[in-house]
Amino acid sequence: MNALRNGERTVGDLAEAVGARQPLVSQHLGALRDQGLLHHHRNGNEVYYSIAYPKMVQACDLLREVLFEHLRDQERLLASNQD
């Protein structure tokens, strides 16, 4: 999702951006597309994907912040237990 935040990209571009094999990326994109979370269109042999709802980027950013806060809290707990 993060790799699509700045606009549409091809499956190959996305695979390279996330460091994964193209078939795996295609499978994940297909699942998100089937749920209506991504738009797609074909141009020749290339399939382009984009985020269907821009607010999803905001939601992902918020979840990421929460996870980082949680990890920092866990680190503090571990550090205080070692003292």
* pLDDT given for residue 36 in this prediction: 95
pLDDT tens digits, 18-77: 999 999 999 999 999 999 999 999 999 999 999 999 999 999 999 999 999 999 999 998
> Residue ranges of the alpha helices (H) in the chain?
11-18, 22-34, 55-82
Q: Which pLDDT score, from 0 to 100, does residue 58 have?
A: 94
Nearby residues of 46 by Cβ (< 8 Å), 6 or more positions away: 10, 11, 12
The residue count for the chain: 83
Range 1-52 has CATH code 1.10.150.80: no
| pLDDT value of residue 77 | 87
pTM: 0.76
Whether residue 83 has pLDDT greater than 70: no
Residue 20, CA distances (Å) to 7, 10, 11, 14, 78 in order: 19, 14, 11, 8, 33
